[in-house]
Amino acid sequence: MKTYCERQGFLGLESPYCDWETSRVAIVPIDFVNFGLEKHPNESGYGPSRIIQASKRVRVFGNIFGEDLFRKHGVSTLQVPSNFLPADERTVVKGIFEADKFPIIIASGNASVNPAMDVARDLFGEVSFLRFDSRLNILSPSLGKYSEDSVAFGELIKVVKKILFVGTRSAELEEVEILRQYRGGEKERFEDDRVHVFRMRKNIRRIGFETFLHSMRALIKNSNVWLSFHLSVMDQSVIGLDTTYFEPGGFLYDEVLDIFESIFSNSSIKIVGADFTGVSPTPKGCFPESIPTCYIVAKIISCFIVGIFSKLK
């Protein structure tokens, strides 16, 4: 695999800590995904590379006892061409798994999620899908209906062990009707407990954050889990306007880290891969002198990687 190294990849790590051969985590930054999507005029296609750039300003301390986990286990950043196709992504993710590394996809849109999930299901069998997003996105925005389009998660619901939507604050009426079918309307196809939606106000704020964490962990225990994180799940006071869409309300930065810590501290939950999507820089965004959204995302990803490393021997 061709990688960025010598302070050009994630966190600006130097060799050998950024080398493909020695790293335990492989990051795939997909700037231009040729999935039939046009590059947004506000340069949203550059979100992943801006995150890599901002990550070089992240100060890495490992843990409180001083162990530098990033230099102990290594993080490589793959070079992805501009004409990257879904089939290419499947090949790359499969290669990451076969090399016994943990894949992290960084992309602007949701189209990159399903190809990676396809590979995870092929290798691990049953996989649960843990999706953090302000919107359900069960419908394809391009077709406006329940479809097999890779941008939508409607088809994904059929093939995963469980799917959890966390932080939801908006949904189409058609999506609500589809969820009602999944929750028991078609029992011959779907079990009652396969689909769960944690709405921000009703199922997180009102019941209490700790209660929410306990419920979420209980649903994905004894599971292989793909974690999918869309930036819009966070509060706008944290992320500004540098996301593909946003809804009022959302998680704060420390709450996101608490969620990751809660997941990684549970030995019965195995995270097998992850994607971070939805970063859409406004013009001149994601630079040190501008809204630090990309820096925040880089910090979140680095904290997530610490959780991965905590599971390694």
| Residue in 309, 228, 285, 257 with CA at minimum distance from that of residue 49 | 285
Instruction: Provide the pLDDT for residue 138.
Output: 73
Instruction: Provide the pLDDT for residue 159.
Output: 72
Q: Would you place residue 32 in the very low, low, confident or very high pLDDT band (cuts 50, 70, 90)?
A: low
Helix axes 293-310, 253-264, angle to 10 degrees: 20
Instruction: Provide the pLDDT for residue 183.
Output: 57
Helices (H) and strands (E) in the chain, counts: 10, 9
Instruction: Provide the pLDDT for residue 36.
Output: 41
The one-letter code for the residue type at 48 is P
- Classify residue 45 by its DSSP letter: G
| Residue in 35, 194, 226 with CA at minimum distance from that of residue 122 | 226
165-174 average pLDDT score: 86
- What residues contact 67, with CB distance under 8 A and at least 6 apart? none
Per-residue model confidence as pLDDT tens digits over 61-117:
545 444 688 888 999 999 887 677 777 888 999 999 999 999 999 987 776 777 888
The one-letter code for the residue type at 37 is L
Radius of gyration of the chain (CA): 18
Average pLDDT, the chain: 80
Whether 33 has a pLDDT exceeding 50, the answer reads no
Instruction: Provide the pLDDT for residue 261.
Output: 94
Per-residue model confidence as pLDDT tens digits over 216-265:
999 999 999 999 999 999 998 888 777 878 888 999 999 999 999 999 99
Q: Would you place residue 3 in the very low, low, confident or very high pLDDT band (cuts 50, 70, 90)?
A: confident
Q: In what order do the strands lie in the sheet with 3-4?
A: 3-4, 75-78, 25-30, 102-107, 269-277, 223-230, 128-132, 163-168, 195-199
- pTM for the model stands at 0.87
Domains by residue range for the chain, with CATH: 3-310 (3.40.800.10)
| Cα 151 from Cα 137, distance rounded (Å) | 8
| Cα 145 from Cα 102, distance rounded (Å) | 34
pLDDT higher at 39 or 27: 27
How far separated are the first and last CA of the chain, in Å rounded? Answer: 24
| Cα 28 from Cα 168, distance rounded (Å) | 26
Instruction: Provide the pLDDT for residue 222.
Output: 92
| Cα 176 from Cα 195, distance rounded (Å) | 12
**Which residue is associated with the tokens 């689909």?**
195
What percentage of the chain carries pLDDT values higher than 70? 77
Instruction: Provide the pLDDT for residue 69.
Output: 86
**What share of residues in the chain are helix, strand, coil (percent, to 5)?**
40, 20, 40
The one-letter code for the residue type at 165 is F
Per-residue model confidence as pLDDT tens digits over 280-291:
776 555 554 445
